[in-house]
Amino acid sequence: EIVMTQSPATLSVSPGERATLSCRASQSVSSNLAWYQQKPGQAPRLLIYGASTRATGIPARFSGSGSGTEFTLTISSLQSEDFAVYYCQQYHNWLTFGGGTKVEIK
């Protein structure tokens, strides 16, 4: 099983600042990685697939990068609605999710 490790567990950021979230795979997943946003009491929402392709309707302030074992989700200027938990998911070998990064207001 490919283990996905996200860091940090919690990220404290002020509105308008940049947030950088990391996701590391225990072995290469090529570019077969997705990112999701989950707000309290809601289902996850797809943000990014193929490591860097934004899903339909996702604002341009969200960007994904990386390949192999190291991936990054960047939120260029945090808006109030962006404070949430973010998960990465690999689909290269079966499907596994990371433990999540909570982005909270500083």
Partner 1 sequence: QLQLQESGPGLVKPSETLPLTCTVSGGSIRSSTYYWGWIRQPPGRGLEWIGTIYYSGSTYYNPSLKSRVTISVDTSKNQFSLKLTSVTAADTAMYYCARHIYSNIYYAWFDPWGQGTLVTVSS
Residue number, 1 or 81, with CB nearest to partner 1 = 1
Q: For residue 98, how far is the Cα from the chain centroid?
A: 9
Site string for partner 1, 22-41 (x = CB under 8 A): ----------x-x-x-----
For residues 64 and 72, what is the distance between their CA atoms, to the nearest angstrom?
A: 6
Q: Choose which of 14, 40, 43, 60 interacts with partner 1 (CB under 8 A).
A: 43
Residue 81 or 94: the one with the smaller Cβ distance to partner 1 is: 94
What is the CB neighbour count within 10 angstroms for residue 10? Answer: 11
Site residue total, partner 1 (CB under 8 A): 23
* Number of neighbouring beta carbons within 10 Å of residue 7: 13
Going by the DSSP 8-state scheme, the letter that residue 13 receives in this structure is E
Q: Is 72 in the site for partner 1 (CB under 8 A)?
A: no
Q: What are phi and psi of 90, to 5 degrees?
A: -100, 145
Instruction: Kindly list the residues in this chain that would bind partner 1 in the complex (CB under 8 A).
Output: 1, 32, 34, 36, 42-46, 49-50, 55, 87, 89, 91-92, 94-100
